[in-house]
Amino acid sequence: MSPVEAESPTYVYGLVKADSVLPDGLTGLGPSGRVSMIAHGRVAAVVSDVPLDRPLGLRGDLVAHETVLDSLATEGAVVPMRFPAVVEEHAVVDELLVPNEDHFEALLDSLEGRAQFTLTGRYEQDAVLREVLEGDEEIRALREKVRELSEDASYYDRVRLGELIVRALEQRRETEGADIVERLEPFAVATVSNQLGAPEDVVNVAFLVERDRQEEFENAVEGIGEELVGRVRLRLLGPVAPYDFVPEA
């Protein structure tokens, strides 16, 4: 009796409709570089081979994962899988597609004709710090006091000054960030606010936008960016895979 051939692991990027056509030029993270589809019924998994000589986790693996998904997102609806998603080849159909076909189809229907855009914004620190100093008498007075004292003698005052500046930035960004989102919400069907990482971060929000309103949305972002030039650096990414608008598996 010949030995049973071991089944190859398969990398799954995401799910698309079974009648989708893959964009040209996709490059997978496996040694072959080939990206293909495995279909069942009305949905299909976008897959590739997997490196067998090392574990996944290199930056290039994540870049390849995101690049494939973002390329799919420019063409149509895609339900992204979280990195890294490796299953046995038979499990793509038996364990992923068969039991979840209706669920994935409903998700894809909800994303059809829509795309995610992610807007981040960060204060131009020098300009906004000047505003904070000019607008807050306590901060201004404490700053002058710190300047006149030695580093050791001013330690607690410097800590207090830092706390006051951070609080002032947080109050400012809460108002200004909410205003940015409020102005853009009419162009989106849904929004998801992500956690801000630093005091100078103003906004980090995902927008689900109808593709036929994409130009309107981008123009609105550009208009806000022009108003805030010199104070806030806005960065718009998209269309990208809609991670923020699908449930985590």
Q: State phi, psi for 32 to the nearest 5 degrees.
A: -75, -25
Flag whether 67 is in a domain. Answer: yes
Flag whether 4 is in a domain. Answer: no
Based on the fold, state whether residues 133 and 171 are members of the same structural domain. Answer: yes
pLDDT digits (tens, 9 = 90+) for 30-88: 999 999 999 999 999 999 999 988 888 889 999 999 999 999 998 899 999 988 889 99
pLDDT digits (tens, 9 = 90+) for 217-232: 999 999 999 999 988 9
pLDDT over threshold 70, residue 3:
no
pLDDT digits (tens, 9 = 90+) for 187-215: 999 999 998 888 788 999 999 999 999 99
Average pLDDT over residues 161-177: 79
Please give the Cα distance from 40 to 44 (Å, whole number): 6
Domain that holds residue 185: 115-245
Q: Structure pTM?
A: 0.80
Flag whether 2 is in a domain. Answer: no
Q: Considering its fold, how many domains does the chain have in total?
A: 2
Q: What is the dihedral of CA 10, 68, 40, 31, to 10 degrees?
A: -30
Burial of 154 (0-12, 13-18, 19+ CB in 10 A): middle
Please give the Cα distance from 124 to 204 (Å, whole number): 16
